[in-house]
């Protein structure tokens, strides 16, 4: 792998597992130091740090912050800045709770908006001005197809992801002229996954499987048939590969986008 991110530091929220870990490993393979983050035990965080170093990161360190707590995010961003970054910010931390609008509690709403939207606002407002000063920066927000289209029983999640895409586009416009082609510029983009094989969709799979006597494969097939025309899930590593491309210096003019990886879901 070409070490195009040597000397860069990336903060990837929610990077102890799933999509976040895959993105962290992809950026590490190109030479970036990785600030690892997530809700994890000491053993889990240590395992993630080791995996990221093995993938090529010259250094990796775990940073702890509850993304529902702005003060905790402020502290984390100050700590990462003191460590030398972030040059690349990936807002991947997210939660979902499938529930009807009528049955959703205010706590469910507050938690999902806080983690999936407000947390990204707090990291971006710290990171982007410093990126502009350096003339290089990449913000990659992991949104969702549910930032582009709606589904029933996901009002808080859809609201957060639509908001994340909108906020990202504003930030892209505000920082579009920062830096230069030579320095790499500052870009802000969203990746919008469809069904990815991660823990976040497991409750939906279990619910569908229950209609088929607990057959998990049948539950997955039924879930995808409704939304994703390819009828194939994606792997976290596929999201990591796109994130790495967006972080590449050659992507200096790719900004304000929301790129689906959804097997044709949003083409319908």
Average pLDDT, the chain: 96
pLDDT at 223: 85
pLDDT at 32 over 90: yes
- Over residues 101-158, the pLDDT tens digits come to 999 999 999 999 999 999 999 999 999 999 999 999 999 999 999 999 999 999 999 9
pTM over 0.75: yes
Residues with catalytic roles: 157
Regarding whether 217 and 180 lie in a shared domain, the answer is: no
Within a domain: residue 3? no
> DSSP 3-state assignment of 60?
strand
Host domain of residue 218: 198-233
Regarding whether 94 and 212 lie in a shared domain, the answer is: no
Q: How many domains does the chain have?
A: 2
Interior/surface letters 116-153, b for 16+ CB within 10 angstroms, e for the rest? bbbbbbbbbebbbeebbeeebbbbbbbbbbbbbbeeee
Regarding whether 240 and 115 lie in a shared domain, the answer is: yes
- Over residues 60-99, the pLDDT tens digits come to 999 999 999 999 999 999 999 999 999 999 999 999 999 9
């Amino acid at each position: 792998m070409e070490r195009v991110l040597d000397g860069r530091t990336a903060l990837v929220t929610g990077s102890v597992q799933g999509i976040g870990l895959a993105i962290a490993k992809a950026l590490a393979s190109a030479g970036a130091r990785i600030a690892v983050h997530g809700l994890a035990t000491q053993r889990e965080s240590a395992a993630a740090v080791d995996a990221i170093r093995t993938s090529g990161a010259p250094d990796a360190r775990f940073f702890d912050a509850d993304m529902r707590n702005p003060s905790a995010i402020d502290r984390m961003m100050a700590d990462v800045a003191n460590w030398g970054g972030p040059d690349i910010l990936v807002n991947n931390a997210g939660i979902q709770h499938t529930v009807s609008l009528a049955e959703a509690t205010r706590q469910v709403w507050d938690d999902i908006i806080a983690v999936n939207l407000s947390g990204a606002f707090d990291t971006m407002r710290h990171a982007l001005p410093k990126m502009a000063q350096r003339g290089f920066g990449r913000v990659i927000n992991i949104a969702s197809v549910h930032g582009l289209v709606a589904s029933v029983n996901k009002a808080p999640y859809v609201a957060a992801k639509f908001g994340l895409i909108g906020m990202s586009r504003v930030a892209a416009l505000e920082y579009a002229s920062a830096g230069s082609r030579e320095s790499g510029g500052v870009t802000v983009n969203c990746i919008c996954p469809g069904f990815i094989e991660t823990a976040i969709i497991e409750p939906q799979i279990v619910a569908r499987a229950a209609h088929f006597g607990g057959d998990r494969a049948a539950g997955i097939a039924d879930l995808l048939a409704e939304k994703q025309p390819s009828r194939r899930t994606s792997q976290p590593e596929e999201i990591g590969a796109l994130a790495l491309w967006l972080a590449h210096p050659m992507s200096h003019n790719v900004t304000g986008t929301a790129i689906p990886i959804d097997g044709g879901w949003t083409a319908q």
